Amino acid sequence: MRVLVVYGSKRGGTAGIARMVGGALRGAGIDAEVRSGDEAEGVAGYDAVVVGGALYSSRWHRHARRFVKRHAAKLRDKPV
């Protein structure tokens, strides 16, 4: 199984959590890749996607929000 862990982080806290999630998945024998939402190119080739983002002023971080909007159609076909 191949999993993409994608995040949006302003000060690094969410990025750190995303790296920990990726590490835990790898520790369980899962091929996991961790990318910022502004760096991740898509979801093709992944079996599942984990998306995390910090909240600022009741809004999800823009990198996570934009990633989900860009790839919404393909995310519907994968466990998220």
Q: For residue 64, tell me if it sits in a domain.
A: yes
User: DSSP string spanning 28-52?
Assistant: TT-EEEEEETTT----TT-SEEEEE
CA-closest candidate to residue 23, choices 11, 33, 35? 33
Per residue in 46-73, pLDDT (tens digit) is: 999 999 998 888 899 999 999 999 999 9
Confidence of residue 14 (pLDDT cuts 50, 70, 90): very high
List the domain range (segments joined by +) for residue 11: 2-75
Q: Provide the percentage of residues in the chain whose pLDDT is more than 90.
A: 90
Q: What's the structural domain count of the chain?
A: 1
CB atoms within 10 A of CB 27: 9
Q: For residue 67, tell me if it sits in a domain.
A: yes
Stretch 10-25: mean pLDDT: 96
Q: What is the pTM of this model?
A: 0.93
Predicted pLDDT of residue 57: 87
Residue 65, domain CATH: 3.40.50.360
Q: For residue 35, tell me if it sits in a domain.
A: yes
Report the mean per-residue pLDDT for the chain. Answer: 96
